[in-house]
């Protein structure tokens, strides 16, 4: 037994659009944390938009299937299962992979298209969400063991996001989608408290092309969620989807504007991606986790100021936010 060599787990790292192009600190945090956990990530050279299930699938299903299959084929060349950090990308790639593995007619159609660009869908890889990789592949106990310091009972409003758990039939959560627990457990092993709030499983409002076409409606979803989080006494929001992150982060600023007269006061919940907090609890430096702002660019994420809450959290961990920021700016320039 002891002679067996331990092969590090390896995944094709699917980036999508919103993380690399708008929330790059999530990419940074995830790359560093997975490295620290001993997971190898292989880039998917030339991968495109998944394409987004709410919009592009709504316009033309065959195009959605084909471009999705092209992305899967890149992972097949990598010979490693896909790991995605986005619920939307998960929704598309999982569904495409499932449909094409189980329906010969669709597979033939898609492969006729892919032939034109010298590619092929074979059905040889699985599609996994980061949550599944952490909770099931590595295992919650591995995560628990990797945690070296506690985040001091930070009150987190955990937002799962719809496509992480639904449709439940082809997802790995034993059919649970009304009251799942895995994300709460992942948050609580960091020494945080996952607060219970009403309509926790409700959609953030961004999906289905609603944000892109009818923003006011999508923000009314968000307004409701934020009110419920406030009622429960949350200090911050934790997500595992960049589109939910965008909606809950930038959306807060927008809600504070258009629903000014209807809300109980302006919202200011910092929104963190799970790997940012995980890394912190694993003893990693905030600079590796995209937690320190070291640029003076305007109109870029995170839109809700994270500094006040981070200053508090850092104090307990023995860091000084202002000082870290000064040092890292120096290091960059």
Partner 1 sequence: MRKVFSRTRNCETYMENIKRSRINHVSSEISDEIVADDLELIRSCFQCGTCTGSCPSGRRTALRTRSVIRKALLGIDQVLDDPDIWLCSTCYTCFERCPRKVPVTDIIIKLRNLATQKGRILTPHKALTHLLIDTGHGVPINEKKWSDLRESYDLNPLPPTVHSSPKAVKEIQTLVNSLEFDKLVEYKPPEKDSKKEESKKEESLKSADEKPMRKSRKIMVKK
Contact (CB, 8 A) for 252 and 222: yes
Tell me the closest approach of the beta carbon of residue 123 to partner 1, in angstroms: 12
Which of 38, 43, 181, 323 lies at the binding interface for partner 1 (CB under 8 A)? 43
Tell me the closest approach of the beta carbon of residue 245 to partner 1, in angstroms: 13
Structure tokens at 216: 């006011």
| Cα–Cα distances in angstroms (integers) from residue 13 to residues 21, 75, 89, in the given order | 15, 8, 12
Name the strands in the sheet holding 82-84, side by side, starting at the edge strand that comes first in the sequence.
40-43, 10-14, 82-84, 127-129
Name the DSSP letter for residue 178.
Answer: S
Q: Is 66 in the site for partner 1 (CB under 8 A)?
A: yes
Where does this chain touch partner 1 (CB under 8 A) — which range of 108-116, 137-145, 190-198, 310-318? Answer: 108-116
Q: Is 145 in the site for partner 1 (CB under 8 A)?
A: no
148 three-class SS = coil
Positions 160 through 179 that interact with partner 1 (CB under 8 A): 162-163, 166-169, 177-178
What DSSP element (H or E) covers 157?
Answer: strand 155-159
Contact (CB, 8 A) for 195 and 232: yes
| Nearest-angstrom CA–CA distance, 58 and 39 | 35
Which of 2, 5, 7, 299 lies at the binding interface for partner 1 (CB under 8 A)? 299
Tell me the closest approach of the beta carbon of residue 140 to partner 1, in angstroms: 25
Q: Is 108 in the site for partner 1 (CB under 8 A)?
A: no
Tell me the closest approach of the beta carbon of residue 171 to partner 1, in angstroms: 11
Our CB check for partner 1 shows the closer of 4 and 118 to be 118
Which of 11, 173, 197, 221 lies at the binding interface for partner 1 (CB under 8 A)? 221
Positions 16 through 35 that interact with partner 1 (CB under 8 A): 17-18, 20-22, 24-25, 27-28
Tell me the closest approach of the beta carbon of residue 45 to partner 1, in angstroms: 6
- Sign for the CA dihedral angle at 169, 173, 175, 176 comes to negative
């Amino acid at each position: 037994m002891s002679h067996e060599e331990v092969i590090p787990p390896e995944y094709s790292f699917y980036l999508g659009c919103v993380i690399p192009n708008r929330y790059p600190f999530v990419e940074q945090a995830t790359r560093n944390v997975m490295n620290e956990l001993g997971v190898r990530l292989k880039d998917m050279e030339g991968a495109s938009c998944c394409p987004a299930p709410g919009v592009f699938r709504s316009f033309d299903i065959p195009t959605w299937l084909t471009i999705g299959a092209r992305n899967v084929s890149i992972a097949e060349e990598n010979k490693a299962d896909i790991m995605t950090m986005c619920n939307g990308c998960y929704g598309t790639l999982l569904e495409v992979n499932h449909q094409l593995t189980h329906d010969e007619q669709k597979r033939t159609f898609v492969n006729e298209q892919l032939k034109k660009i010298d590619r092929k869908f074979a059905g040889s890889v699985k599609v996994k969400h980061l949550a599944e990789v952490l909770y099931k592949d590595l295992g919650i106990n591995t995560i628990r063991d990797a945690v070296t310091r506690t985040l001091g009972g930070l009150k987190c409003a955990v937002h799962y996001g719809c496509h992480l758990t639904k449709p439940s039939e082809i997802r790995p959560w034993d059919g649970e989608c009304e009251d799942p627990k895995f994300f709460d457990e992942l948050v609580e092993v960091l020494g945080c408290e996952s607060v219970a709030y009403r309509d926790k499983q409700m959609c953030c409002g961004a999906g289905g092309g609603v944000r892109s076409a009818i923003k006011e409606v999508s923000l009314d979803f968000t307004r409701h969620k934020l009110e419920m989080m406030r009622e429960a006494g949350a200090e911050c929001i934790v997500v595992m989807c960049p589109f939910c992150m965008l909606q809950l982060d930038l959306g807060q600023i927008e809600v504070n504007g258009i629903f000014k007269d209807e809300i109980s006061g302006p919202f200011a919940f910092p929104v963190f991606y799970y790997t940012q907090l995980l890394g912190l609890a694993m003893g990693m430096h905030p600079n590796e986790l995209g937690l320190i702002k070291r640029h003076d660019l305007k109109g870029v994420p995170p839109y809700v100021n994270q500094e006040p809450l981070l200053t508090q959290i850092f104090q307990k961990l023995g860091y000084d936010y202002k000082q870290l920021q000064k040092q890292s700016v120096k290091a960059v320039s």
